[in-house]
Every structure is written in structure tokens, then in C-alpha cells.
Amino acid sequence: MSNRVARPKGGAKSAGGLAVGVLAALQEHGGVWFGWNGNTIRGEPGDPTLETDGPITYATIDLNARAYELYYNGFSNQALWPICHYLLGFFRYDRREFDEYRRVNALFARKLAPLLKPDDVIWVHDYHLIPMASELRRAGVTQPIGFFLHVPFPDVEVLRVLPVYQQLLRALCSYDVVGFHTQRDLRSFREAITEREIGSERADRRGSRPGTPMVADVFPIGLDVDDCQHQAQETGEQENVQRMVRHLHGRDLIIGVDRLDYSKGLEERFNAYERLLENYPANRNHVSYIQIAPTTRSGIRQYTEIRETLEQQAGRINGRFADIDWVPIRYLNRAFDRPTLMAFFREASVGLVTPVRDGMNLVAKEFIAAQDPDDPGVLVLSRLAGAADELTGAVLVNPYDIDGVADGIHTALSMSREERVSRHADMLRMLRENDITAWRTRFMNALLAAHERRAAAN
Ligand code: GDG
């Protein structure tokens, strides 16, 4: 279950890490993917529409305009999203939005329950659906239910800003397993649930189900590495990739690919690129920066504002540094298909992934997977992304330190081939050990084990 389901024939290119991860996991194992189809309607949604494509059955429902505004744009994306990314300047709370959030969770639970078979296992994804386990139990569901949080779990002092944080913590304690990307997230979660009020609630639960505490653990999401490599190699000959390469005229390509979101640090990144051209003038006319940033969440004002800001920044940088034969920065506010992105990554000398906070960041991993191991590009990665815990061979930077990021890009551009090959080999090994199969099987095994323990105890 996830808030949004990318339907097989929807046609839209999915720009979103959750969709990429869940799709890859389901393609391997098969199953039903339940959630919102992206349509908004008047009135109340009907029963789910079922569509089967290969091993996956898509069970999707509409949302009405009120739910879209209050549950999705409101509580999920203007309260929970900023809180989880430590960006309190974007946070706002409205009790009606939280009420709608709970109502939509209850609605999803009622729509899913009749589709379930006795041996099903339910895996709920992300912050939109935190109350789902309690709602499903209320609807009589007894199957194992696990939850994975794709965004960071914030420190309890930040969480406290949210008036209903204790209700959400209790809701998380209703799952058999709760998973996070990093040890940092797990530590914050553990600290939050040891608070007195939450602790007593958990003791009650244990009273009713003795010896069956909820399991919380770290399950870093990975990739289908072969698939990324294959796409990167196979797509290189395509016309649009060749066109991009021709326009480089031998210059080093710096690439960034992000959903247009304030957590991705794009404004800071554009400033850092400008600083690179100021502080290291030898790079002028020798590098070309392409930033791909498809629009998301266009129903929220701040998201349309970033778009305008970036256009202005790109215009200013190009106005200041461009030459008759050189455009320093190309900002593309649109989506590309996935194989093309992988081929672009492979052509790049530097991958720029500098979010101001990120649960994991799959683009960082895709950039590494797509490289030619004999002549790889270098990843410049924010320390504030979950991926920094694993991708230690990247040039790690603080995205707020504009000079530091400019230095990092310069270091990446000047790195010897020997060092690039060795850093890349270490990271690729890690990506293979911890791929999408490992993510899915480790989570599923934990969930089945927790459920068996519970069944044995009851
Ligand atoms: C959330 C968490 C966590 C981007 N532009 C296009 C496109 N993309 C794809 C990328 C990548 C995915 O979207 C983005 O994933 P990220 O992980 O970078 O970021 P979020 O969307 O914020 O994802 C994140 C993730 O969930 C998984 O748990 O890592 O921390 O925030 O796969 O390649 N795909 C296509 N066209 C584009 O223009 N086709």
C-alpha cells in the first residue's frame, strides 16, 4: 500500500523514489499494489479498480477534492513532509487536515480489507499512511502488517512541534514491524517512543499481546543494479542521448536529477555551481551542468515558487558566464524516461546530489550503478542524505556550505582515474550486496518472523 500508485497504463513517467522501489520489489515477487490512482473526483470514491500487468495487480481508487487538499496537500505534505526533513519554516498545522488524514486512512483500510486473502502480508509505505495498521486491525484484518518510512524520522525535539505527534507514535506501535533507511532514523524513533506517555501505551499493548513487542529496524533501500547498468549501456546510442553528448563538445558533464522539491537543495546547488565558476575560473567553458527537475506537488505554493526561483538563478548564471559557444547551466523542468536518465548518468563526469535532507536518495545510487567501471564519474553527495551512510566513496559535502560544495565539485572534476575507479568499485560492491532484493527479503523475513512470534504468544 502506498498513497500513490503508478498505474501500468497511466503513461506518466514516475519521478519518485517510493514508486521506483516498490515497483522493483513487486516485479520480483508479485502482489497487489493498492493506493490512489492520482484522479480527483467529486463525491465519494467507489470500489478499487483492478488492473493486472505481469505479476502485479494494481488496485487503485480515486480521491475527492477535499481529501486531495486536506489529506494530501495539507497534513501529509505541509505538516509531515517538512517536519520529517527538519524544515520547520515550511511547516504548518491545521486540525481539519489531520482529521481528513485519519478519515482517508480509514477509507483506504475499508477498501483494502475485502480484497485480502488469509495468507497475505501487508506492507504499508510512507508517511501518508501511518495510521493504516490501527485502521486495518479495526476493520478485522489479522494478517501481518509492516510499515516502511521512506523519509527521515526526525529527532523527537523536532517532532514535538507537531501537536498530534503522540497519536502518530502510538499508531506506529500498532505495526508488527517498522522500518527505516538509517541508524539515525531508528535512534530517533526509539528515543521518541520511550517517552512516558507513549511507553505506557505500549505497555498496554503488551498486556493484551504478551511477549510481542513491535520490531523496529534499519532496511536501507537499494536498486536493481543490473537493470540500471543495462539501461545505461543500451540507451547510449539513442538519438536524444547522442544529441546531448554532441552539445557537450567534449566538455565535462555535471548532472543533477531531482524532483522539484525544496528538500533537494537546488537553490543552494545552483549557488554552489556559480561559486565554482567564480573560484575556479579554469572550469569556465570546460564544464556543462544539466539539471533535470520535473515538477511535483504543483498544488502547493512553495513548489511553484522554487520553480520560478530556479529559473531566475539559471538565467542569472548564464547571463553572467555564458559565451557565444557555451551555456554554463541547462535547467530542464521536465521528466525524462528512466533509460535515458541512466544513459545521461553514464556520460557524466560528476553527479551532483546535494539535498538539504533526504531519507536515502536513490539518484545517488543510480548514478553509481550507471557508470562505466573502467572510467567512472564521481559522485558529490550531501552528508544529510541517508545514502551518505553507505556511499562513503563519494565526495561528501554539506549542502549549506556553498564554498564547500564548489570545492567538492572541483575535487571531483580533478580526481585521477585510478582514484575514481577504486572509489567506484567499493560503492558498486556495496550496491550489489544491498540491492532491491535484499531490501524486500530482509523486510519480509522480519515481518513474517514478528507475526509468527505474535501468533505463538496468543
Ligand atoms: C523518497 C525519499 C528515498 C527523478 N526524475 C525523473 C525520475 N526520477 C526518479 C529518480 C529516482 C526517483 O525518481 C527519485 O528518488 P529519490 O530517492 O532521489 O527521491 P524521492 O522521490 O524524494 O523519494 C528518498 C526514496 O523515497 C526511496 O525510499 O530515497 O529519500 O524522499 O529513482 O531516478 N524518473 C524518471 N524521469 C524523471 O525525470 N523516469
Task: Compute, in angstroms, the gap from residue 148 CA to the centroid of ligand 1.
Answer: 16
Marked catalytic residue, from 62, 358, 407, 435: 358
Within a 10 A sphere around the Cβ of 203, how many other Cβ atoms?
10
Q: Buried b vs exposed e over 395-419: b needs ≥16 C-beta within 10 Å?
A: bbbebeebeebbbbbbebbebeeee
Q: Which numbered atom of ligand 1 lies nearest the CA of 261?
A: 22
Task: Compute, in angstroms, the gap from residue 15 CA to the centroid of ligand 1.
Answer: 6
Using DSSP, state whether 457 is helix, strand or coil: helix
pTM of the model: 0.95
Q: Write down the pLDDT at residue 7.
A: 79
- C-alpha grid cell for residue 84? 520529517
Task: Compute, in angstroms, the gap from residue 20 CA to the centroid of ligand 1.
Answer: 7
Beta strand 378-382 with 350-353: parallel, antiparallel or unpaired?
parallel
Q: Which numbered atom of ligand 1 lies nearest the CA of 334?
A: 38
**Domain with residues 17-221+437-453, CATH architecture:** 3-Layer(aba) Sandwich (3.40)
- CA distance linking residue 381 with residue 396, whole number of Å: 5
Q: Can 150 be counted among the known catalytic residues?
A: yes
**Whether 353 contacts 256, CB under 8 Å:** yes
Task: Compute, in angstroms, the gap from residue 362 CA to the centroid of ligand 1.
Answer: 6
- CA distance linking residue 48 with residue 58, whole number of Å: 9
**Nearest alpha carbon, ligand 1 atom 8:** 15
In sequence order, the β-bridge partners of residue 31 are 56
Q: Which numbered atom of ligand 1 lies nearest the CA of 366?
A: 33
Q: Write down the pLDDT at residue 29.
A: 79
Q: Where in the chain is the domain with CATH 3.40.50.2000?
A: 17-221+437-453, 225-433
Task: Compute, in angstroms, the gap from residue 257 CA to the centroid of ligand 1.
Answer: 9
Q: Write down the pLDDT at residue 455.
A: 79
Q: Is the CB of 337 under 6 A from ligand 1?
A: yes
Q: Name the CA radius of gyration of the chain, rounded.
A: 23
**Nearest alpha carbon, ligand 1 atom 20:** 17
Q: Is the CB of 259 under 6 A from ligand 1?
A: yes
Q: Which residue from 181, 338, 329, 342 is spatially nearest to 266, judged by alpha carbons?
A: 329
**Nearest alpha carbon, ligand 1 atom 19:** 17
Q: Write down the pLDDT at residue 453.
A: 85
Q: Is the CB of 399 under 6 A from ligand 1?
A: no
- C-alpha grid cell for residue 360? 536515502
- CA distance linking residue 262 with residue 70, whole number of Å: 20
Q: Which numbered atom of ligand 1 lies nearest the CA of 385?
A: 30
- C-alpha grid cell for residue 437? 532484493
Q: Which residue from 453, 456, 458, 451 is spatially nearest to 118, judged by alpha carbons?
A: 451
Q: Is the CB of 18 under 6 A from ligand 1?
A: yes
Q: Write down the pLDDT at residue 15.
A: 60
Q: Write down the pLDDT at residue 249.
A: 93
Task: Compute, in angstroms, the gap from residue 306 CA to the centroid of ligand 1.
Answer: 18
Alpha-carbon distances of 216 from 191, 397, 443, rounded to whole Å? 12, 30, 11
- C-alpha grid cell for residue 79? 505538516
- C-alpha grid cell for residue 449? 518472523
- CA distance linking residue 392 with residue 177, whole number of Å: 28
Q: Write down the pLDDT at residue 210.
A: 43
Query: Rounded to the nearest 5°, which phi and psi values hold at 297?
Result: 50, 50
Using DSSP, state whether 334 is helix, strand or coil: coil
Q: Which numbered atom of ligand 1 lies nearest the CA of 296?
A: 21
10-residue block means of pLDDT along the chain (458 residues)? 84 66 82 94 93 94 96 98 98 98 97 95 97 96 96 97 96 96 97 74 44 82 95 90 92 97 98 98 98 93 93 97 96 94 97 98 98 98 98 98 98 98 98 95 94 81
Q: What percent of the chain has pLDDT over 90?
A: 86
Beta strand 350-353 with 31-41: parallel, antiparallel or unpaired?
unpaired
Topology classification of domain 225-433: Rossmann fold (3.40.50)
Q: Write down the pLDDT at residue 213.
A: 63
> 303-309: long-range contacts (C-beta < 8 A, 24 or more apart)?
303/260, 303/261, 303/262, 306/260, 306/261, 306/262, 306/266, 306/267, 307/260, 307/333, 309/267
In sequence order, the β-bridge partners of residue 395 are 380
Q: Write down the pLDDT at residue 24.
A: 79
